[in-house]
């Protein structure tokens, strides 16, 4: 169990695959002990075993949690306290997408997505920030999305949930900066993970298709670099930055939404 002094611990949510797994490996190699959180215990245990072969001196703990349940953040926080795990880096990466027109949404799936993408991320910050403030050190890395920079028809609730992550992260970064705690928000563009299958978006879609997707390793690398630099909000990739900049300067919200609709309906 992770309890020795002078060890640095990173808690990574959504660490059972995709970008979260890659972020966890980068932090492992940088010398962090890990607490890996997701629902799939079998995948977490396989990664735990693999990470032991990469860095045998590091402690890698796993915790099964469903962050679409409102009690999960408190359960994770209690687990860290019961096991004397002091979290130096909190990576709020777990998230899911949901495609389709608003009238097609299932209420249950919608509620779970919003709880996962917004509430749990918020609550984990709320629980772990006080310890970081008291120690006058710590990093929080929240994973948003390029989709959070503009309204995205047919991904409306998902893109709005990521706009929440962006605004929330920048706001708490201001609250925590005088305590030596940095909050970074990193926005991937299209990345080659299970995200697309889970969101029910086809590989053949012209705008979101396979050819537009980059490696989760590269995205994770970018996120960790920005986090250690203490950058507030940043976006992976030049093209994505141009797109976000373009939608940011337009004073015409309707025009923005129309352009997005045209692009995603191709």
Ligand X SMILES: NC(=O)c1ccc[n+]([C@@H]2O[C@H](COP(=O)([O-])OP(=O)(O)OC[C@H]3O[C@@H](n4cnc5c(N)ncnc54)[C@H](OP(=O)(O)O)[C@@H]3O)[C@@H](O)[C@H]2O)c1
Chain residues that interact with ligand X, rule: CB under 6 A: 13-20, 38-40, 43, 65-68, 93-97, 116, 143, 145, 188, 190-191, 193-195, 198, 216
Token reading at 53: 């072969």
Choice among 32, 127, 149, 162 that is catalytic: 162
Token reading at 159: 């893109």
Q: Please tell me whether residue 63 adopts helix, strand or coil conformation.
A: strand
Query: Is residue 179 flagged as an active site residue?
Result: no
Choice among 127, 158, 186, 208 that is catalytic: 158
Closest approach, Cβ 209 to ligand X, in A, equals 11
Closest approach, Cβ 241 to ligand X, in A, equals 14
Q: How many helices (H) and strands (E) does the chain have?
A: 10, 7
Output the CA–CA distances (angstroms, integers) from residue 207 to 198, 202, 213, in the order listed: 17, 10, 10
Nearer to ligand X by Cβ, of 32 and 158: the residue is 158
Nearer to ligand X by Cβ, of 32 and 149: the residue is 149
Give the phi and the psi of residue 3 in degrees, each rounded to 5.
-145, 0
Query: Is residue 158 flagged as an active site residue?
Result: yes
Closest approach, Cβ 256 to ligand X, in A, equals 18
Nearer to ligand X by Cβ, of 139 and 191: the residue is 191
Token reading at 151: 């309204």
Sign (positive/negative) of CA torsion 8, 115, 193, 37? positive
**Residues involved in catalysis:** 158, 162
């Amino acid at each position: 169990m992770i309890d020795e002094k002078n060890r640095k611990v990173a808690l990574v949510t959504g660490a059972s695959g995709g970008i979260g797994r890659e972020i966890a490996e980068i932090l492992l190699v940088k010398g962090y002990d890990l607490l890996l959180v997701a629902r799939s215990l079998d995948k977490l245990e396989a990664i735990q075993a693999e990470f032991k072969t990469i860095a045998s001196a590091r402690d890698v703990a796993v915790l099964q949690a469903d962050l679409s349940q409102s009690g999960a953040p408190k359960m994770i926080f209690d687990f860290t306290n019961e096991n004397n795990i002091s979290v130096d880096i909190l990576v709020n990466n777990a998230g899911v997408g949901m495609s389709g027109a608003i009238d097609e949404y299932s209420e249950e799936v919608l509620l779970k997505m919003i709880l996962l993408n917004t509430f749990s991320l918020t609550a984990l910050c709320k629980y772990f920030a006080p310890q970081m403030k008291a120690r006058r050190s710590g990093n929080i890395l929240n994973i948003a999305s390029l989709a959070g920079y503009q309204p995205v028809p047919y991904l409306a609730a998902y893109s709005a949930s990521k706009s929440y992550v962006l605004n929330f992260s920048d706001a708490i970064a201001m609250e925590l900066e005088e305590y030596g705690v940095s909050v970074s928000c990193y926005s991937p563009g299209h990345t080659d993970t299970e995200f697309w299958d889970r969101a029910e978006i086809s590989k053949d879609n012209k705008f979101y298709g396979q050819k537009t997707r980059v490696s989760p390793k590269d995205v994770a690398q970018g996120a960790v670099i920005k986090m250690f630099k203490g950058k507030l909000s940043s976006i992976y990739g030049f093209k994505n930055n141009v797109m976000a900049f373009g939608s940011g300067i337009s004073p015409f919200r309707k025009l923005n939404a129309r352009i997005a609709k045209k692009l995603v309906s191709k």
